[in-house]
Structure 1
Amino acid sequence: MADREEQNHQHIVMLPFMAQGHLIPFLALANQIHRRFGFTITIATTPLNLHHLAAVVAKNPTPSSGIHLFELPLNTSDHGLPPNAENTESLPLNLVVNLFHSSTSLEPPFRALIQNITADQNGRPPLCIISDVFMGWANAVAESFGTVNVTFTTGGAYGTAAYVSLWQHLPHRRRTTDLCKPSINNNLL
């Protein structure tokens, strides 16, 4: 019983990217972790995405109130985005890059959230931060509080494997002058 009691005092903070295909998997993961281990989970996202998640949570309430939602303010006009455009679904394709860049402005309020949780837990930081693959700055936040950041990717296994492989094995671009030089096959020497 003491182990379960200790788990209930553990806190995990989640940071999804601002897209439906990212928000819903994070919520599903939060529900699984909470049901299985009893940890307190806080999902931090922007106001309109928070509203969407709150509606989903209201339709499918968890047995206890172990999943909390936290609002990270985002002023879309500061990033060349239309008003209330906090999600990829509400943006034309050419502005999605602006949304990616705007996510870095979420770091200060996210950092304040982690600070508050740490203070509420008598100086103990959250057990971990689970951040979206597109929220790389969460690594620095986790490190500064002495906790771990776990990256969660919401894509399918095949697409994720292809993405990782591509980045690990990027082809090298040859200059046209290199094409004119004779190549030496070291295997023949």
Structure 2
Amino acid sequence: MNREVSERIHILFFPFMAQGHMIPILDMAKLFSRRGAKSTLLTTPINAKIFEKPIEAFKNQNPDLEIGIKIFNFPCVELGLPEGCENADFINSYQKSDSGDLFLKFLFSTKYMKQQLESFIETTKPSALVADMFFPWATESAEKLGVPRLVFHGTSFFSLCCSYNMRIHKPHKKVATSSTPFVIPGLPGDIVITEDQANVAKEETPMGKFMKEVRESETNSFGVLVNSFYELESAYADFYRSFVAKRAWHIGPLSLSNRELGEKARRGKKANIDEQECLKWLDSKTPGSVVYLSFGSGTNFTNDQLLEIAFGLEGSGQSFIWVVRKNENQGDNEEWLPEGFEERTTGKGLIIRGWAPQVLILDHKAIGGFVTHCG
């Protein structure tokens, strides 16, 4: 028995401190635990509280499996950040004009944890480190201590391939304007896009330089893990492994590691709608008839943009669930909704203000389409 425990694979999981990164990495840690590995999530004090309940529930269901948390110190104020700024959700509550600079400072401040990571690796001697793409400095730390570092990408092979070919061929520099469509060269499928849609970070900007570090650390790492599956985007998975990173594995959809109803309902934060009420509404719809719209926790839409979405939904005549992240700066102001919109779409549409039980919704047979961002 002792020999079995000592030989157990031990994986460290280090997510970037944002819901869209933490949730799938927690799912991955659970997946590895179910396969017999010991899983340890690395995070900061405030984010540890987000992990505690789902990990406790998972351990109660699987008492023989090993999964835990290691907390790293992250002194926000000393790092030039506001008190409590340990998660991108904190930044999203700021005015849009301030949030960009604060996000960059937050991104760069994570390097403070480098020494703590190296000390923990040295002490525990793990089998591997799975670190988020936004921690490029983790590759150097792992290499120094002889531990394989795997880069985690929460996005798709498709978007990674598009980004790669845009950098290599720079087609956006060969068109008249930032709104002129062009085909991304060399990719399967003749993908047409504009520079505005591609949101290309200029290389000389702080974000452009940071993304260059991310790519270099990926090249020097042991390999890449992508939250996708081969049948979804086989042409792009093959392209990525041929031209970008030979050692890349699709290990998704990671959300499938949530098997129980409670796990699906409470993936991430507590929902701003009663799960049973949501399921009852979906049960009343015919299969494949509902469009689900959710643009994630990191988006900032203007009132005008939200109004256009509302007009489009109403005009389509389609049944829908629309998740709108509540902006704390707006208070109770709902100028983003056309007057009488909810009355006119009663029974046809459901607006969830805040956090939605997304896995539970997407798992329902009534959902026929998903409108989201590039992640």
Q: What is the TM-score with the length of structure 1 in the denominator? A: 0.77
* Matching residue's letter, 2:48: L
> Share of identical aligned residues, percent?
27
Kept in 2: contact 1:34–1:67 (CA 8 A): yes
Kept in 1: contact 2:118–2:145 (CA 8 A): no
* 1:145 to partner: Cα distance: 1.1
User: Where does residue 110 of structure 2 map in the other structure?
Assistant: 103
CA deviation map 1:24-76 (0-9, x unaligned): 1001011111112x111111111111111112222333513411100011011
User: Where does residue 35 of structure 1 map in the other structure?
Assistant: 34
* Matching residue's letter, 2:139: N
User: Where does residue 180 of structure 1 map in the other structure?
Assistant: none
CA deviation map 1:113-140 (0-9, x unaligned): 101102xxxxxxx211111001111111
Q: CA distance change for structure 1 residues 48 and 169 in 2, over 3 Å: closer, same or farther?
A: farther
Per mean C-alpha deviation after superposition, the further-off stretch among 7-16 and 137-146 is 7-16
* 1:15 to partner: Cα distance: 1.1
CA deviation map 1:133-188 (0-9, x unaligned): 011111111111112101011123433333333344446979xxxxxxxxxxxxxx
Once the two structures are superposed, the pairs formed by residues 145-164 of structure 1 within 5 Å of their partners are: 145-164=145-164
Tell me the secondary structure at the aligned position of residue 141 of structure 2. Answer: helix
Report which of the two has the higher share of helix. Answer: 1
CA distance in 2, matches of 1:58, 1:42: 13
CA distance in 1, matches of 2:56, 2:169: 44
Tell me the secondary structure at the aligned position of residue 77 of structure 2. Answer: helix
Tell me the secondary structure at the aligned position of residue 130 of structure 2. Answer: strand
Tell me the secondary structure at the aligned position of residue 150 of structure 2. Answer: strand
User: Where does residue 78 of structure 1 map in the other structure?
Assistant: 78
CA distance in 1, matches of 2:123, 2:168: 37
CA distance in 1, matches of 2:112, 2:45: 14
CA distance in 2, matches of 1:169, 1:86: 37
Q: CA distance change for structure 1 residues 87 and 10 in 2, over 3 Å: closer, same or farther?
A: same
Q: CA distance change for structure 1 residues 155 and 44 in 2, over 3 Å: closer, same or farther?
A: same
- Count the aligned residue pairs: 165
Q: CA distance change for structure 1 residues 21 and 7 in 2, over 3 Å: closer, same or farther?
A: farther
User: Where does residue 49 of structure 1 map in the other structure?
Assistant: 47
Per mean C-alpha deviation after superposition, the further-off stretch among 92-101 and 4-13 is 4-13
Tell me the secondary structure at the aligned position of residue 83 of structure 2. Answer: coil
User: Where does residue 21 of structure 2 map in the other structure?
Assistant: 22
Question: Aligned-pair RMSD on alpha carbons?
Answer: 2.5
Kept in 1: contact 2:130–2:152 (CA 8 A): yes
User: Where does residue 116 of structure 1 map in the other structure?
Assistant: 123
Kept in 1: contact 2:33–2:65 (CA 8 A): no
Q: What residue ranges of structure 1 are gaps of 5+ in the alignment?
A: 119-125, 175-189
For residue 59 of structure 1, the aligned residue among 45, 57, 60 is 57
* Matching residue's letter, 1:150: L
* Matching residue's letter, 1:84: G
CA distance in 1, matches of 2:165, 2:44: 31
* Matching residue's letter, 2:142: A
Kept in 2: contact 1:7–1:39 (CA 8 A): no
